[in-house]
Amino acid sequence: MSQRTALYPWHVSIGAKMVDFAGWEMPLHYGSQLDEHHCVRRAAGMFDVSHMTVLDLSGARVHAFLRYLLANDVALLEGPGRALYSCMLNEAGGILDDLIIYSLSESKYRLVSNAATRSKVVAWIARQGEPFAVEVAERTDVALVAVQGPLARQAVLRVLDRDLQVLTSSLASFQAAWKRETLVARTGYTGEDGFEIMIPRERALDLVQALRAQDVTPAGLAARDTLRLEAGLNLYGADMDESVTPLESGLGWTVGWQPENRDFIGRKALKAQRVKGERWKRVGLLLQEAGVMRAHQRVLTADGGEGVVTSGGFSPTLKRSIALARVSANTSQQSGTVQIRQRLHPVRLIKPPFVRHGQPCFGAAA
Amino acid sequence: MSNVPEELRYAKTHEWVRQEDDGTLVMGITDHAQELLGDLVYVELPEVGRTVQAREELAVVESVKAAADVYGPVTGEVVGINESLVESPELINRDPYGEGWMVRLKPESAEEFANLLDAAAYSALAESEED
């Protein structure tokens, strides 16, 4: 039996094409995923992401717990209202999930992770948190709406209550503010400016209707995927999973190696891999002709390296096919081929992202 | 409910076919098919002059989320293709039975066309596949 967010009736009422995603009935699009994608790049779009896992962690030792649990270091957070992107690893250094952690107070943090990994992540955190006497509250009473695009900020400020509006107007990227039960964070998954708003379920409808009145366009999961791919952002389960480490997934920058005496789950295995050498690295692919790259297609680099497409698709902004791929760590080539059906097609290897501020931006592959 | 014009014939694999006055057949994919695929971004058309067997792969359409094969509805020779689809694959989404036509065929026999599904039969098929 599929789960539904608080906004399910609203999605249906405005003509969403609903699909199953990780056991949730979610809007794939509301008519045209390409239009929704362009709206986010040029104006503002909003996504119902209430299916994601929201956990509130509290206790006297929660800070110490998180420094052990996560590969990135929460000690980097300067105080309440700051957020951090991190991977959560197993003992082998494999990625269990990627998530954002928000500091709410010295003894309270909020963690937002993927819908598809919910039961695994909740069980893991409960187990790892026990020795630290951390209380874990799964916030199924919270709806999550992401508003993204160059005009997102002004739209969001217009719909917030006065107090929260004042607090929100001074937020920089990866900062959050809250008032009573509503939390607003300047974070997102599209490569655009915007906010992710956490609000009690029963107020979600009012929020999206107010945003719609500000000309924010409802956007579905299909647009969310093309946007994040253009932004070079990994999708857990596709671009990374437990079989690879952050170092092999383009996320080496999220590992907090310093201070050296911070033990975290997977540190030892990562250190060993750093010494021995990673097996893979992440690159971006630009298809040099018409066609569409898709996950699992074979990649060959010009120097005989092998690899696989982890996420492929079409970039509406660039109007060509782009992909993220995992290739041999020691390849140094900028060109290669990808196998689509029976034929080999030329690709250029680049360092993601593909699009920034709505414009193409390709650097040479690492 | 998708649009299924009365005057056309259909294949089970979601192609539509129209018989022209000169005996050639024009084909494309149905409204039901384009709706399932979503926004199309790429179309691979056959070469003019190529022959195709009924139910043989003739063309490929790619949407953002999936690739789908388009099959020859009858046995025949490709005598025309809709070049506009190369630049504007979205014509298939916008107007699948008109500007989104894909291939013109010279059929080998008239029999195979007569054996295609009529609008009522295709509607029933499409409906049974709908969520």
CATH architecture of A279-364: Beta Barrel (2.40)
pLDDT recorded at residue A239? 98
Q: Indicate if the alpha-carbon torsion angle A13, A14, A19, A20 is positive or negative.
A: negative
How distant is the Cα of B49 from the closest Cα of chain A, in angstroms? 22
Helix (H) or strand (E) holding A29: strand A24-29
Residues A314, B86: C-beta atoms closer than 8 Å? no
Q: Give the whole-number percent of chain A exceeding pLDDT 70.
A: 99
How distant is the Cα of A34 from the closest Cα of chain B, in angstroms? 7
Q: Give the pLDDT band of residue A366 (cuts 50, 70, 90).
A: low
Pairs of residues, one from chain A and one from chain B, whose beta carbons lie less than 8 Å apart: 34
The secondary structure of A279-294 as a DSSP string is SEEEEEEEESSSS---
Segment A23-36 shows an average pLDDT of 96
Predicted model pTM: 0.92
Residues B65, A222: C-beta atoms closer than 8 Å? yes
Q: Say if residues A143 and A198 touch (Cβ distance below 8 Å).
A: yes
Q: Is A314 on the interface with B (CB under 8 A)?
A: yes
Alpha-carbon distance of A318 to B64, in angstroms, equals: 13
Option in B38, B42, B67 nearest A222 (CB)? B38
Q: Which of B129, B96, B102, B97 is nearest to B1 (CA)?
A: B129
Q: Which of A109, A76, A72 is nearest to A87 (CA)?
A: A72
Our measurement of the distance from residue A160's CA atom to the centroid of its chain's CA atoms, rounded to an integer in Å, reads 24
Option in A33, A226, A292 nearest B62 (CB)? A292
Q: Say if residues A241 and A234 touch (Cβ distance below 8 Å).
A: no
Residues B42, A29: C-beta atoms closer than 8 Å? no
How distant is the Cα of B21 from the closest Cα of chain A, in angstroms? 35
**Cβ neighbours of B87 in A, within 8 Å:** none
The CATH number assigned to the domain with range B9-129 reads 2.40.50.100
Q: Say if residues A111 and A104 touch (Cβ distance below 8 Å).
A: no
Reduced to 3 states, what is the DSSP secondary structure of residue A332? coil
Which residue, chain included where needed, has tokens 């509290």?
A: A58
Instruction: Using the predicted structure, report yes or no on whether residue A359 has a pLDDT greater than 80.
Output: yes
Instruction: Using the predicted structure, report yes or no on whether residue B131 has a pLDDT greater than 60.
Output: no
Both structure tokens of B5: 């014009």
CA angle (B61 as vertex; A16, B42 as ends), nearest 5? 90
Q: Which of A326, A366, A320, A328 is nearest to A346 (CA)?
A: A320
Q: Give the whole-number percent of chain A exceeding pLDDT 90.
A: 93
Q: Give the pLDDT band of residue B56 (cuts 50, 70, 90).
A: very high
- A298-309 burial, b for 16+ CB within 10 Å, e for fewer? ebbbeeebebeb
Q: Is A313 on the interface with B (CB under 8 A)?
A: yes
Query: Helices in chain A by DSSP H: which ranges?
Result: 8-13, 33-42, 62-69, 118-129, 152-159, 162-169, 204-213, 221-230, 267-276
pLDDT recorded at residue A241? 98
Segment A281-304 shows an average pLDDT of 94
* Residue-range domain boundaries for chain A: 279-364
